[in-house]
Chain A
Amino acid sequence: MSGESNQRVILLVEDNPDDEALAIRALKRHHIGNQIVVAHDGVEAIDYLFGTGMYAGRDVSLKPTVVLLDLKLPRIDGFEVLRRIRENEATRLLPVVVLTTSNEEQDLLNSYSLGCNSYIRKPVDFLQFSEAIRQLGMYWLLMNEPPPL
């Protein structure tokens, strides 16, 4: 692990500003003091990960600890983002948690087929949602040993 990576980053890919605010609120409430980078659609997410577009010149060796990925996104959707992450040698082991509203069988199948590490359905109840975020943070940021990228 490189010395710079003590600054752990969560990449939240979310186009709905309410969901973004609620997710950030939940993370903060549970003192998951990581830096949260928000990409508002698939293109932004890919630009961040590969240092292109609005993130041109970013040091891409600094990778997020986990990507929280919504599926329904403007421009490039979540499946496509996931596919590109898994396709690219530099990011293929990156932990990706699908965080979405749908529990359609087809979405679950597609997500796991493309290699997501986890699939969470956003509950309507904020307390449940907050609890899900807390567990996610605990698990992926504190308990899980990330791949040696």
Chain B
Amino acid sequence: MNPERLARIRDLCRDEVAFEQLQQLLSEEKQPLEQEICHALFQVEQQKTLFSVITRLREFLDLETIFRATAAEVRQLLAADRVGMFRFYPNSGWNDGEFVSEAVDPEFPSAIAHKIHDHCFGDQFAIHYQEGRVQNVADIHNAGLSDCHIEILSRFQVQANLVVPLLQGRHLWGLLCIHQCRTPRQWQETEIEFVQQIAGHLGVALQHAELMAELRAEVAERQQAEQRAQELNQGLRQAIVELKAVNRELEAFSYSVSHDLRAPLRSIDGFSQALLEDCLDQLDTTGQDYLRRIRSASQRMGQLIDDLLTLSRVTRSDMRREAVDLSQLASRICTQLQHAQPDRQVEFVIQTGLVTQGDVRLLQVVLENLLNNAWKFTSRQMQGKIEFGAIQANAAAPENGIPIYFVRDDGVGFDMAYVDKLFKPFQRLHRMHEFPGNGIGLATVQRVVHRHGGRVWAEGTSEQGATFYFTLAEESVGA
């Protein structure tokens, strides 16, 4: 108490004896007060340290930085000789580990990176630490510790020891160790609580670190997946480029077939005809017959080339999808057929209002081929019948089904044994003189149908007609 105040108290007392007693009383009061102040100051420092530990946690710094700074601060606050973070090796059964971070008085050896093996720790202590056990040893030589334990502590000149668990969630990750090396030390309750609090916060940092590691692994995995996707994409782009080049080549090839292959045929046909006209008197009937055969063969080859070109054009031309009235297309084709051979008696049955999405030019090719075939193969009938219509793929659930279109005739039909050959180019099931044709038509039909995502198939019986079915969209599986 300052002298001025004491003088005032003396004045108020006006009695030396009373003053003496009062002074005695006051100084007795003062001592615990001073102790409490000291304690409060320590607590303030503790809070400051805790605060800086928590602040670092929120900055998401790496574990090493957090450990190093925390060790230094704790060591300073507790005036300890060594503060270290000990980590158990994963899968060592808590028997092996090493110090991964520390703050140590330069007078004492560093404990970092020395492999430490304690064969009894895993069995006897790990489970207790996992539940929050604290080891509080004021003097290692008077605490009943096992010899091997004392031996390990002596290696780092430890005299007093305060150990709290570092838990990552519920997993015992390691230990926070406070060592006193100069002298034994009685650890205060507040100090123990403080160290426990610090260990708790470090546990949060460990969990953060684990989450971050998982996150990084996930990000890396995603990056890898992205990389793979990019590589695939790159490959796909390359394939498209190559495909386009092949297509261009094919186009150039078709173009040159169209131009160049036909020119010699014109010469063969033209000069054969010229021979027939100019040198008729020098040729006997056999010679004339040979020339006619040459002409008819070259004309057939011209037709073949044209059909092949149509087939290839069907494959490479661009698809334009729009609404197509198949019924209207079919009627128009049938009218043309009848017009070309007005004497033939054929009944056409065409279902109306069959509208689909597709390429009108390509679908025209499909119907032309199928109806031309039907017309051709009913030519022996006195009275033929040709039908065009659609049925539902799934009668039970029509909303799931797609229409199956069909062209049916009651003509010569075919033997189902040969059905596989029908759609292959240049395959014919009838002799040329019976029914002329190149065997390109149905191959063309199949290509167009495939380009629309559909399929085509046929049913027939010899001498009892044929039905060709086709779809123009993918059928839903299991519908």
**Chain A residues near B (Cβ < 8 Å):** 16, 18-19, 22, 25, 72, 100-104, 122-127, 129-130
In contact, A122 and B259 (Cβ under 8 angstroms): no
Give the number of residue pairs across the A-B interface with Cβ within 8 Å. Answer: 60
Chain B residues bordering chain A, tally (CB within 8 A)? 23
List of A residues within 8 angstroms of B301 by Cβ: 124
Please encode chain B, from 121 to 160, with 1 for each CB lying within 8 Å of some chain A CB and 0 for all others: 0000000000000000000000000000000000000000
* A129: chain B residues within 8 A (beta carbon): 266, 270
Residue of A nearest to B262 (CB): A101
Q: Does B454 contact A (CB under 8 A)?
A: no
Q: Which of B272, B295, B301 has the most CB of A within 10 A?
A: B295
B237-273 interface (Cβ within 8 A of A): 254-255, 258-260, 262-267, 269-273
Q: For residue A100, which residue of chain B has the nearest CB? A: B259
In the complex, B438 has a CB within 8 A of chain A: no
Contact B266 A124 (CB under 8 A): yes
Q: Known: A19-B263, A25-B274. Contact between A125 and B269, CB under 8 A?
A: yes
Q: How far is the CB of B46 from chain A (nearest CB, A)?
A: 88
CB distance from B271 to the nearest CB of A (A): 7
CA distance A102 to B258 in the complex (A): 6
Determine whether the beta carbon of B255 is less than 8 Å from that of A102: yes
Please classify the interface of chain B as helix (H, G, I), strand (E, B), loop, or mixed, using the class held by over half of its residues.
helix
Chain B residues with CB below 8 A from A101, complex form: 258-260, 262-263, 266
Distance (whole angstroms) from the CB of A117 to the closest CB of chain B: 22
A-B contact pairs, 14 of them (CB 8 A): A16-B263, A18-B270, A19-B266, A22-B267, A22-B270, A25-B274, A122-B262, A123-B266, A124-B262, A124-B298, A124-B303, A125-B269, A126-B266, A126-B273
Flag if B258 contacts A124 (CB, 8 Å). Answer: no
Bound-state CA distance A104–B256 (Å) is 11
Q: Collect the chain A residues with CB atoms within 8 Å of residue B274's CB.
A: 22, 25, 126
- CA–CA, A100 and B266, complex, Å: 12
Q: From A18, A25, A72, give the contact of B266 (CB < 8 A).
A: A18
B175 CB, min distance to chain A CBs, angstroms: 82
- A103 and B266 contact, CB distance less than 8 A: no
The reply on B356 being an interface residue by CB < 8 A is no
A134 to chain B, nearest CB (A): 14
In the bound complex, residues from chain B placing their C-beta under 8 Å from that of A104 are: 254-255, 258
Given contacts A101-B259, A123-B302, A124-B302, list 12 more A-B pairs with CB under 8 A. A18-B266, A19-B266, A72-B259, A101-B260, A101-B262, A102-B258, A123-B266, A124-B262, A125-B299, A126-B272, A126-B273, A127-B273
| Chain A proximity of B428: nearest CB distance (Å) | 21
- Chain B neighbourhood of A124, CB < 8 A: 262, 265-266, 269, 298-299, 301-303
B-side contacts of A18, CB under 8 Å: 263-264, 266-267, 270-271
Q: How far is the CB of B311 from chain A (nearest CB, A)?
A: 14
Chain A minimum-CB-distance residue to B261: A101
**Contact partners of A22 in chain B: CB under 8 A:** 266-267, 270-271, 274
Task: Tell me the smallest distance from the CB of A97 to a CB of chain B, in Å.
Answer: 17
In the assembled complex, the CB of B304 is this many whole angstroms from the nearest CB of chain A, namely: 10
Residue of A103, A123, A125, A127 touching B258 (CB-CB under 8 A): A103
A113 to chain B, nearest CB (A): 18
